């Protein structure tokens, strides 16, 4: 469903109850005003001679007839009618010289109750109002008087006025007002005023068109005028969102104002920024994967070619029945270890470049980690007659980190000490803790070391020192670069310094954690 149609239906749904409420209010005001007019007219009628005539003949007061020749001012209920002619006028059938109204009981031939014709709200002439007298016991001596129900009795006892409205079978509305007169006693202590509205009266049906039609038209016009700019802004926002989607969310959406539509545009801007971040992250991961494949292909080919050459030479010697050279076997094993280390380093580099979400933090025991690293590198160090030594605490040393990356970082430093160390050399791993709940992990070797100038660049990716390029020309310079990234990712500190034994000392410092339960 289109927004314009939905808003139009909403306007109708709002307007119909509003018109209904307006009609009800108009009916209520009209009825209350009519009641006040009838009450005032009845009291005026009774206080202007009606009481005397009623008390003189309560049984027949309701059947007073109107003679066609009677002047209008003698008809009870007309505006200004007080039962007599204007000053200076002699009523018909009155005694000669009389200037007042005719006195006495009802005239022969009179019939029908006295009728009031007051004017109602907005000058509308009300239907005739019939009056019926009742005494203090709410009993009428006139047999034509209608019966009083409990609602009228209770209302007049409590408030001085009882009101009842009901509809007849033909649709006419009957209105009864039971009034207490401003005197006590007598057969006319209470008067019932009855008014009957015909079915076609505005009191029964809808009020005049100007009462509800004009406000309804104004309300609908105001809603149409107010909804026009809203629909235009929504269409403009829709076009901008589609244009942004077509540009892979590079084109922003205009945000104007502080209303709900502006909030919607602002929410789309936030979603657009999040989508762009996710797309950038995905592109970075794809680029990392491409780089990983390219690096793996390039970096593995060189040691693989060397290993193939060593294996081919060993095969030729075996076919010729010649003994295998220990140096050739050692070189082949070294190339195999190097390729394994290279693959591990490339995998670690891919994880690091993909970002922190790939890092899994968990409690890690550095003492056990050092033991595993040294045990794994013993087969590599033994043929080169390099001794691997360690100094660790007697109890576990717990830190929070990614165990795989931390083990790879320590392995890289130890492997560098083995690969670039001298024969009969040493590589030592020393783990210490402090009272400040920190640890110091140092990897010390007595190899050739690196110069101070090279130490400032040795952590860069693909950078290799002169000694490394001389002794291991196939290396790719990933080891210490990965170590540096792992340390930064964990919030630790790393320092490179010459060792007291002539080689290199790599130190790690970081916070300890409480032992896991």
Of all residues in the chain, the percent with pLDDT exceeding 70 is 72
pLDDT for the residue numbered 34: 83
| Local confidence band at 4 (pLDDT 50, 70, 90 cut-offs) | low
pLDDT for the residue numbered 206: 57
CATH number for the domain that contains residue 411: 3.30.565.10
Higher-pLDDT residue of 399 and 467 is 399
Q: Looking at the predicted structure, is the pLDDT value of residue 455 above 60?
A: yes
Higher-pLDDT residue of 441 and 198 is 441
Statement to judge: residues 347 and 389 lie in one domain: no
Does any domain span residue 116? yes
pLDDT for the residue numbered 86: 37
Average pLDDT over residues 215-225: 74
Does any domain span residue 141? yes
Average pLDDT over residues 215-230: 74
pLDDT for the residue numbered 205: 54
Statement to judge: residues 71 and 161 lie in one domain: yes
Give the domain-ending residue among 293, 325, 358.
358
Q: Looking at the predicted structure, is the pLDDT value of residue 502 above 50?
A: yes
**Of 76-90, 150-164, 502-516, the least confident:** 76-90
Does any domain span residue 122? yes
- For the purposes of burial, counting CB atoms within 10 Å of the CB of 103, is it exposed (0-12), middle (13-18) or buried (19 or more)? middle
Q: Give the Cα separation of 374 and 149 in Å (integer).
A: 109
Q: Looking at the predicted structure, is the pLDDT value of residue 498 above 80?
A: yes
Q: Looking at the predicted structure, is the pLDDT value of residue 372 above 80?
A: yes
| Local confidence band at 469 (pLDDT 50, 70, 90 cut-offs) | very low
Average pLDDT over residues 319-330: 81
**Of 249-263, 289-303, 362-376, 427-441, the least confident:** 289-303
Higher-pLDDT residue of 9 and 510 is 510
Domain count, the chain: 3
Q: Give the Cα separation of 196 and 116 in Å (integer).
A: 12
> Residue 498 is inside which H or E element, if any?
strand 493-498
Q: Give the Cα separation of 46 and 51 in Å (integer).
A: 5
Give the domain-ending residue among 327, 358, 389.
358
| Local confidence band at 350 (pLDDT 50, 70, 90 cut-offs) | low
Question: Which residue stretches of 382-419 are H helix?
Answer: 403-419
Output the DSSP codes for 6-67.
HHHHHHHHHHHHHHHHHHHHHHHHHHHHHHHHHHHHHHHHIIIIIHHHHHH-TTTGGG----
What is the domain range of residue 301?
Answer: 235-358
> Taking a C-beta distance cutoff of 8 angstroms, is the pair 192, 145 a contact?
yes
Statement to judge: residues 32 and 171 lie in one domain: yes
Query: Which 3 state secondary structure label does DSSP give 278?
Result: helix
pLDDT for the residue numbered 428: 95
| Local confidence band at 370 (pLDDT 50, 70, 90 cut-offs) | very high
If you average pLDDT over every residue of the chain, what do you get?
76
Does any domain span residue 226? no
Output the DSSP codes for 143-209.
TTSPPP-HHHHHHHHHHSEEEEEEE-TTSPEEEEEEEE-SS-SSTTSEEEEEEEE-TTSTTTSPPPH
Does the CA dihedral 358-362-366-372 come out positive or negative? negative
Average pLDDT over residues 354-370: 80
Q: Looking at the predicted structure, is the pLDDT value of residue 460 above 60?
A: no
Q: Looking at the predicted structure, is the pLDDT value of residue 421 above 60?
A: yes
Which segment, 87-91, 196-200, 225-229, 257-261, is predicted with the most confidence on average?
Answer: 257-261
Statement to judge: residues 162 and 137 lie in one domain: yes
- Output the CA angle 212-217-221, nearest 5 degrees: 150
Statement to judge: residues 401 and 306 lie in one domain: no
pLDDT digit string, tens, across residues 67-115: 333 333 334 433 343 444 333 333 333 333 333 333 334 443 344 445 4
Does any domain span residue 391? yes
Q: Looking at the predicted structure, is the pLDDT value of residue 264 above 50?
A: yes
Statement to judge: residues 98 and 242 lie in one domain: no
Statement to judge: residues 181 and 302 lie in one domain: no
Query: Which 3 state secondary structure label does DSSP give 291?
Result: helix
Statement to judge: residues 294 and 366 lie in one domain: no
pLDDT digit string, tens, across residues 312-322: 888 888 888 88
Higher-pLDDT residue of 428 and 95 is 428
pLDDT digit string, tens, across residues 102-131: 333 444 334 444 544 445 444 455 578 889
Does any domain span residue 145? yes
**Of 79-93, 304-318, 388-402, the least confident:** 79-93
Q: Give the Cα separation of 42 and 262 in Å (integer).
A: 64
Q: Looking at the predicted structure, is the pLDDT value of residue 158 above 50?
A: yes
Statement to judge: residues 498 and 374 lie in one domain: yes
Q: Give the Cα separation of 505 and 271 in Å (integer).
A: 49
Statement to judge: residues 73 and 194 lie in one domain: yes
| Local confidence band at 439 (pLDDT 50, 70, 90 cut-offs) | very high
Statement to judge: residues 274 and 392 lie in one domain: no
Name the one residue in this structure whose structure tokens are 């009742």. 134
Higher-pLDDT residue of 500 and 355 is 500
Statement to judge: residues 376 and 400 lie in one domain: yes
| Local confidence band at 291 (pLDDT 50, 70, 90 cut-offs) | confident
Q: Give the Cα separation of 412 and 335 in Å (integer).
A: 16
The pair phi, psi for residue 119, each rounded to 5°, is -95, 135
Q: Give the Cα separation of 235 and 245 in Å (integer).
A: 15
């Amino acid at each position: 469903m289109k927004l314009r149609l939905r808003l139009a239906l909403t306007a109708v749904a709002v307007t119909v109850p509003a018109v209904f409420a307006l009609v009800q209010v108009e009916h209520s005001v009209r009825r209350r005003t009519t009641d006040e007019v009838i009450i005032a007219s009845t009291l005026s009628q009774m206080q202007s001679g009606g009481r005397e005539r009623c008390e003189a003949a309560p049984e027949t007061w309701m059947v007073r007839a109107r003679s066609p020749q009677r002047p209008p001012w003698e008809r009870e209920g007309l505006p200004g009618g007080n039962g007599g002619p204007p000053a200076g006028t002699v009523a018909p059938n009155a005694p000669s010289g009389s200037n007042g109204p005719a006195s006495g009981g009802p005239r022969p031939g009179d019939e029908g109750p006295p009728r009031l014709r007051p004017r109602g709200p907005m000058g509308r002439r009300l239907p005739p109002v019939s009056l019926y007298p009742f005494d203090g016991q709410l009993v009428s001596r006139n047999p034509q008087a209608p019966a009083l129900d409990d609602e009228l009795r209770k209302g007049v006892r409590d408030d001085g006025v009882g009101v009842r409205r009901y509809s007849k079978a033909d649709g006419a509305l009957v209105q009864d007002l039971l009034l207490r007169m401003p005197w006590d006693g007598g057969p006319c202590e209470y008067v019932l005023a009855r008014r009957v509205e015909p079915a076609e009266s505005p009191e029964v049906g809808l009020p005049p068109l100007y009462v509800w039609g004009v406000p309804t038209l104004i309300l609908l016009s105001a809603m149409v005028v107010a909804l026009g700019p809203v629909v235009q802004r929504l269409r403009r926002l829709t076009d901008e969102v589609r244009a942004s989607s077509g540009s892979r969310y590079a084109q922003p959406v205009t945000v104007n104002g502080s209303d709900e539509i502006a909030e919607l545009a602002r929410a789309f801007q936030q979603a657009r920024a999040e989508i762009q971040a996710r797309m950038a992250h995905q592109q970075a991961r794809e680029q990392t994967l491409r780089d990983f494949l390219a690096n793996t292909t390039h970096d593995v080919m060189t040691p693989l070619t060397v290993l193939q050459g060593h294996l081919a030479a060993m095969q030729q010697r075996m076919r010729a029945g010649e003994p295998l050279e220990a140096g050739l076997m050692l070189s082949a094993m070294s190339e195999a270890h190097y390729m394994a280390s290279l693959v591990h380093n490339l995998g670690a580099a891919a994880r690091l470049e993909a970002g922190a979400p790939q890092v899994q933090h968990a409690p890690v025991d550095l003492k056990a980690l050092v033991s595993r690293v040294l045990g794994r590198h013993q087969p590599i160090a033994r043929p080169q007659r390099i001794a691997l030594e360690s100094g660790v605490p007697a109890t576990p040393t717990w830190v929070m980190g990614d165990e795989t990356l931390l083990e790879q970082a320590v392995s890289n430093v130890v492997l560098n000490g083995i690969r670039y160390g001298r024969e009969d050399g040493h590589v030592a791993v020393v783990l210490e803790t402090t009272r400040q709940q920190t640890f110091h992990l140092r990897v010390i070797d007595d190899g050739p070391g690196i110069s101070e100038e090279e130490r400032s660049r040795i952590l860069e990716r693909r950078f290799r020192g002169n000694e490394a390029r001389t002794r291991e020309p196939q290396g790719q310079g990933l080891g210490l670069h990965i170590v540096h990234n792992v340390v930064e990712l964990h919030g630790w500190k790393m320092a490179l310094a010459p060792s007291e034994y002539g080689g290199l000392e790599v130190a790690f410092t970081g916070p300890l954690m409480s032992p896991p339960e």
